[in-house]
Amino acid sequence: MEAFDYTPLQGRVVFGQGTLARIADEVQLLGCRRPFVMSDAHHVEGAAARVLQLLGDQVAGFSTEAAMHTPVDVTERVLERVHAGAPDCLVSLGGGSTTGLSKALALRTGLPQIVIPTTYAGSEATPILGQTEQGRKTTLRSPRVLPRTIVYDIDLTLGMPVHLSVVSGMNAMAHAVEALYARDGNPITSMLAEQGIAALARALPVIAADTRNAGARSDALFGAWACGNCLGTVGMALHHKLCHTLGGSFDLPHAETHTVILPQVAAFNAVSAPQALQRVARALGVDKAGAGLFDLAESLGAPTTLKAIGMSESDLDKAAEIATSAPYWNPRAVDKGAIRTLLDDAYHGRRPRN
């Protein structure tokens, strides 16, 4: 066994069916009494209303303003409402956008968070925050943005549409794939990464056939946590750099962008990180990681081309320039020409050979 460093993430995980009913108890366990609640328009009349009902007159405020890529101007607008309500904690229910807003507010206020995910984004399990300002998305890592409690309720995912389930699940897989070739990787994170990828690869085809299959939903939600946890304990590389560039500078949809880019970056890095990508292939039950990820996405009806999710071919040069404008670690050397070729493959949806 090689020497390694590993710092486990702090926080409580509540996992199961019907766990949303415990939200008031979880607020109390943090020693809090006045939560500020966040959600999105999709859940206002359903799960978010249930949260508000369960918390009752304790609620210090409510917002549904979360937006994709966590725009700083939205955060600052909601921050004014947080200050006005004087809460002692934050409760967020929704996908990655809602979690992002909660993290951004926690960073600025120091308030503890309880996050209730409704997709497979996995960001709730990380101390990482991505924010967009003036057309650029930047990320930071801080214990201040790590939720104190995550409440996973399988029932909240039973009605998730197939498309969102698939792209959200592929987004989660990206966290674990990148963790397997991370510079600061370790055997604990790598073991969890394989488990997370395998759980999602097993669950997504079942969900595509039966969205209310509780067993598959449970596997997928566990996989999302496992993959997110991996990203939270090691560093990021080319995949996330490209996705942040495409999302922040060209306003491409977050999960779909990860879905399209993941097979291409996996194939790109296979030459320099063969053992890591072999572990990805093993978790998928295929021979080649990049090709296997592409085939999985395609078989589930997920997008496999940047063109299909709104990217303009004329912007590929600019995207390659932005993505390579600042140096960052990746197992394979990154240069503008190579990234431009990778983006062209992603734009046209060419199946990777590796």
Query: What's the CATH code, domain 162-348?
Result: 1.20.1090.10
Dihedral of the alpha carbons of 155, 161, 166, 169, in degrees to the nearest 10: -30
Helices 187-209 and 274-284: angle between axes, nearest 10 degrees = 30
Going across the sheet that includes 89-94, the strands are 12-16, 149-153, 113-117, 89-94, 35-38, 61-63
The residue with tokens 């962008």 is: 257
C-alpha 304/C-alpha 251 separation (Å) is 17
- CA torsion sign for 135, 141, 142, 148 is positive
Domain span(s) for CATH 1.20.1090.10 in the chain = 162-348
pLDDT at 274: 98
pLDDT at 42: 80
Quote the tokens at residue 255. 């999960």
d(CA 185, CA 5): 8
Nearby residues of 37 by Cβ (< 8 Å), 6 or more positions away: 48, 51, 52, 55, 59, 61, 62, 63, 91, 92, 93
Q: Which residues pair with 71 in a beta bridge?
A: 132
Q: According to the model, what pLDDT value does residue 136 have?
A: 87
3-state secondary structure 71-82: EHHHHHHHHHHH
What CATH code is assigned to 12-157?
3.40.50.1970
pLDDT in tens, the chain (354 residues): 778 888 888 899 999 999 999 999 999 999 999 999 999 888 877 999 999 999 999 999 999 999 999 999 999 999 999 999 999 999 999 999 999 999 999 999 999 999 999 999 899 999 999 999 988 889 899 999 999 999 999 999 999 999 999 999 999 999 999 999 999 999 999 999 999 999 999 999 999 999 999 999 999 999 999 999 998 899 999 999 999 999 989 999 999 999 999 999 999 999 999 999 999 999 999 999 999 999 999 999 999 999 999 999 999 999 999 999 988 999 999 999 999 999 999 999 999 999
pLDDT given for residue 327 in this prediction: 87
Whether residue 89 contacts residue 36, with contact meaning beta carbons closer than 8 Å, is answered with yes
Tell me the pTM.
0.93
Residues of the chain with CATH 3.40.50.1970: 12-157
User: 89 has which bridge partners?
Assistant: 35
pLDDT of residue 43: 81
pLDDT at 301: 97
What is the reported pLDDT for 162?
97
- Residue 26, token pair as written in the block: 């979880």
Q: Are 94 and 38 in contact (CB under 8 A)?
A: yes
Alpha-carbon distance of 331 to 299, in angstroms, equals 29
